[in-house]
Amino acid sequence: MADQRILNGRYELGELIGRGGMADVYQGRDQRLGRRVAVKMMRPDLARDPQFQSRFRREAQSSASLNHPNIVAVFDTGEEELTDQHQHEVACPFLVMEYVSGSTLRALLRAGDVSIDQSVTWTSGVLSAVAYSHDHGIVHRDIKPANVMVTDAGQVKVMDFGIARALSDSSATMTQTQAVVGTAQYLSPEQARGEQVDSRSDLYSVGCLLFELLTGRPPFVGDSPVSVAYQHVREDPPVASAINPEITPALDSVLAKALAKDVDARFQSGEEFRTALAAAHQHGTTVAAAGAGNTSENEDHSGEAATTVLAAGAVESGDSDATRTQALTAVHSSSGSPRAGRDDTLHGHQLAAHREPGADPDHHDDHDDAVSSVMTSQNARDIDQRERKSNKRIIIAIVMILLALGAVAGGWWVMNEINQRNIEANQVTVPDVADLSQNDAQNEITRAGLRPIVAEVHDDEIARGNAVGTDPEAGEIMQRDEEITLNISLGPDQVVLPEDLQGASEATVRDTLEELGVSISSVDYVSSASIERDRLVSTNPALGSTVAYGSSVSLQMSSGQIEVPSLMGMTASEAEAALNEVGLSIDITVTEAESAPSSGFDTVTHQSPDAGAPVDQGTTIGVTITTEAPEPDPTEEPTPTEEPSPTESSGSPSPSASEDDEESPSPDESEDN
């Protein structure tokens, strides 16, 4: 991959920004249009699998046919031929998609603090996307938080149509291996049963997504995908408001309909679901606002009514002028008119009522003096009566205030006692979940009445994926439905590369290293005498060494071939040992020569294949060993016949001949020796 930086002569690959089950996602740049894109390329180790090829092709076709602001757009598709070191070509398909800067809902849920408003807004965006895809005859079949992104601007983007199918496809429930497709926590009951699915299955998955956004957990959790799928089919989901008290009954009703087991009892379209969700959320907001407004309004009206009734009661409570004066003054004061003017006017009417008819008001006689005296005495009594009543009112007011304070204090004590008892009744003990799997730990905490929020930490003793503990710790007392941090182990901060990975397949090595938190930077192919083809020979850093969590290593895989060593000038035994050392065998051919070769007799003078040539493991290498040709045997040459000398013919042997006969052994004696 590192050498293939430009795809189709147009798309420039950048850094790796994501990794999925069957593909890697790179940030890229469209050189022709000058825009950022995301390039999704199938992993080379899966590119030969026809099922993955089919799924990848289906994602391209499904996504490319949908043009909606809430769906990640697909711009282009193609294949890139990659050649490894042993000249094997692999066609890796890729998609060129819209680059989205943001976070997935899965990441936002893990970060926590997802409000009800955000949950409703994001779910509405998802419903808008699936409604559009349903209108175009495509069922997504894998709606889940990891497949929904929220951009930095807050826009929802649905992605990964890898297992989407057309509504008319009767095989839309199973893969060709008859395995149920989808993710267990978000499977509809009909998907879990392996039945045919339609658009309402997507709406069920959106209901599961909304439930998790509102409560922080999926509607069903279990020890395994099978147990979760069983719950989708057989069990009713919990009431969301029991987990999050801020959820309104209207939202509970929407969730109940979205998560109905019977497809006919669910929402029948994404738009219907979206409308009901918006109305339920708006209703809850309106009721809260209206409740606050009505309280203040009632307080104002009750105050006015109390003032009016008090005034009327005062007027009807007595016949004396003084009492009537006080009552009318109270009413007039409440309407904002001056009190002094009404007092003066009423007092003038009182004086006029005690005068004789026809009397001159300006005439001051004894009668007037008597009247004045009587009026003075009457006024004094009235003033005294008013003072007594005023004092009585003050005493009553003080008593009422004391009674009110006592009632408030008593009410506070009662409410405090009730609250204390409620607190004690809702207290739960944090369970011990150390070393349990993540699913088991979440279930244990949920059964205890708490809401787990997952956080990942490094731990040298707890295996990766298991629970390290909680915060607060086990044994602590908490209130029911409170949030608690569940720490999940990422494994040690320093990890050891397992030595037993040597000889394993690339897929096994990749899965093992990813479990340890180590990524793979590159894959190279090297010669090996003992490791089979496509099996791991070594890593860099080496197997058995310690590396930091999150670091990367390079793989050296066996090419299945060996480079032939040079055997020239070696003896037969030396050549055989050299070939056996690298996993090759030898075939020796011996030739004879009268003249010594440059390397000398009894050495390799020729080999096939030549030194440096790549050959498969176990190949037999032919070598030629040259030996010295033997000298001719003198006993095999014919002895020339000589004419007898005159002496020999006379029968007298010469002395020299006699000596030769005595000293030279016969041929039989020579062979015996």
Q: Residues 225, 122: one domain?
A: yes
pLDDT (tens digit per residue) in 123-179: 999 999 999 999 988 888 889 998 899 999 999 999 887 555 544 443 444 333 334
Is residue 623 pLDDT above 60, yes or no? Answer: yes
Q: Residues 43, 82: one domain?
A: yes
| Structural domain includes residue 138 | yes
Tell me what pLDDT residue 88 has.
Answer: 67
Is residue 85 pLDDT above 50, yes or no? Answer: no
What are the angstrom distances between the C-alpha of 145 and each of 24, 108, 115, 172, 256? Answer: 19, 9, 15, 22, 20
Is residue 642 pLDDT above 60, yes or no? Answer: no
Is residue 646 pLDDT above 70, yes or no? Answer: no
> Given 559, 583, 606, which residue is the final one in a domain?
559
Tell me what pLDDT residue 578 has.
Answer: 85
| Structural domain includes residue 660 | no
Give ∠ CA 59-65-68 in degrees, rounded to 5. 105
Q: Residues 15, 124: one domain?
A: no
Q: Residues 246, 260: one domain?
A: yes
CB atoms closer than 10 angstroms to residue 306? 10
Tell me what pLDDT residue 53 has.
Answer: 75
More confident residue, 239 or 46: 239
Tell me what pLDDT residue 7 has.
Answer: 87
pLDDT (tens digit per residue) in 427-479: 889 999 999 999 899 999 988 889 899 888 888 888 888 999 999 888 888 88
> 339-353 and 321-335 are packed helices; what angle lies between their axes, rounded to 10 degrees?
150
Q: Residues 570, 469: one domain?
A: no
| Structural domain includes residue 551 | yes
Q: What average pLDDT score do residues 335-349 get?
A: 38
Q: Looking at residue 287, which CATH number applies to its domain?
A: 1.10.510.10
What are the angstrom distances between the C-alpha of 630 and each of 592, 594, 600, 627, 672? Answer: 9, 8, 15, 9, 21
Residue 129 in contact with residue 142, Cβ under 8 Å?
Answer: no
> Given 489, 510, 529, which residue is the final one in a domain?
489
Is residue 205 pLDDT above 60, yes or no? Answer: yes
Distance CA 257, CA 370 (A): 91
pLDDT (tens digit per residue) in 254-301: 999 999 999 999 999 999 999 999 999 987 665 555 444 444 444 443
Q: How far is CA 318 from the centre of its chain?
A: 80
Distance CA 60, CA 78 (A): 10
Q: What average pLDDT score do residues 113-120 get?
A: 91
Give ∠ CA 650-654-658 in degrees, rounded to 5. 120
Helix or strand run (H / E) with residue 392 = helix 366-425
Distance CA 545, CA 497 (A): 6
Is residue 541 pLDDT above 70, yes or no? Answer: yes
What residues contact 11, with CB distance under 8 A and at least 6 apart?
28, 29, 30, 31, 37, 39, 76, 96
Give percent above pLDDT 90 in the chain. 24
- Tell me if 392 is assigned to a ligand binding site: no
Tell me what pLDDT residue 626 has.
Answer: 76
| Structural domain includes residue 405 | no
Q: Residues 162, 223: one domain?
A: yes
Q: How many domains does the chain have?
A: 5
Residue 557 in contact with residue 535, Cβ under 8 Å?
Answer: yes
Tell me what pLDDT residue 533 has.
Answer: 84
> Given 294, 316, 338, which residue is the final one in a domain?
316
| Structural domain includes residue 192 | yes
Classify burial at 55, counting beta carbons within 10 Å of its beta carbon; exposed 0-12, middle 13-18, buried 19 or more.
buried
Tell me if residue 130 falls in helix, strand or coil.
helix
Q: CA nearest 244: which of 214, 276, 218?
A: 214
Is residue 350 pLDDT above 70, yes or no? Answer: no
Q: What average pLDDT score do residues 88-94 get?
A: 80
Q: What is the largest CA-CA distance in the chain?
A: 231
Strand segments (E) across 152-230: 156-158, 165-166
- What is the residue-averaged pLDDT of the chain? 75
Q: Which two tokens stand for residue 518?
A: 């180590």
Residue 357: is the preceding peptide bond cis (ω within 30°)?
no
Distance CA 424, CA 518 (A): 47
Tell me what pLDDT residue 300 has.
Answer: 40
Distance CA 81, CA 59 (A): 20
More confident residue, 638 or 191: 191
Distance CA 565, CA 567 (A): 6
Tell me what pLDDT residue 650 has.
Answer: 44
Q: CA nearest 232: which of 189, 271, 282?
A: 189
| Structural domain includes residue 342 | no
* The model's pTM: 0.45
Distance CA 558, CA 467 (A): 38
Q: Residues 139, 276: one domain?
A: yes
Range from 6-20, 225-239, 370-384, 572-586 carrying the lowest mean pLDDT = 370-384
- Domain hosting residue 532, numbered range: 494-559
Is residue 659 pLDDT above 60, yes or no? Answer: no
Dihedral, CA of residue 130, residue 132, residue 136 and residue 137, to nearest 10: 20
> b/e string for 223-237 if b means 16 or more Cβ within 10 A?
eebeebbebbeeeeb
Q: Which two tokens stand for residue 282?
A: 């708006």
Distance CA 190, CA 173 (A): 9
What is the amino acid identity at position 524? Answer: D
Please, which contacts does 219-228 make with residues 24 or more away whose CB atoms are closer than 8 Å? Answer: 219/259, 220/185, 221/185, 221/439, 221/442, 221/443, 221/446, 222/184, 222/439, 222/443, 223/437, 223/439, 223/440, 223/443, 224/439, 225/184, 226/184, 228/184, 228/185, 228/187
Q: Looking at residue 3, which CATH number applies to its domain?
A: 3.30.200.20
| Structural domain includes residue 341 | no
CB atoms closer than 10 angstroms to residue 469? 21
Q: What average pLDDT score do residues 635-664 get?
A: 49
Q: Residues 114, 80: one domain?
A: no
Q: What average pLDDT score do residues 365-387 get?
A: 52
Residue 207 in contact with residue 126, Cβ under 8 Å?
Answer: no
Residue 145 in contact with residue 109, Cβ under 8 Å?
Answer: yes
Tell me what pLDDT residue 174 has.
Answer: 37
What residues contact 611, with CB distance under 8 A and at least 6 apart?
564, 565, 566, 567, 568
Q: CA nearest 565: which of 604, 600, 524, 525?
A: 604
Is residue 142 part of the annotated active site? The answer reads: yes
Q: Residues 473, 582: one domain?
A: no
Tell me what pLDDT residue 93 has.
Answer: 86
Among residues 45, 117, 135, 142, the one annotated as catalytic is 142
Q: Residue 71 has what DSSP assignment?
A: B
Q: Beta 483-489 vs 536-540: how paired, if at all?
A: unpaired
Q: Residues 516, 608: one domain?
A: no
Is residue 324 pLDDT above 60, yes or no? Answer: no
Q: Looking at residue 612, which CATH number applies to its domain?
A: 3.30.10.20
Q: Residues 150, 203: one domain?
A: yes
| Structural domain includes residue 355 | no
Q: Residues 84, 111: one domain?
A: no
Q: CA nearest 510: which of 44, 177, 82?
A: 44
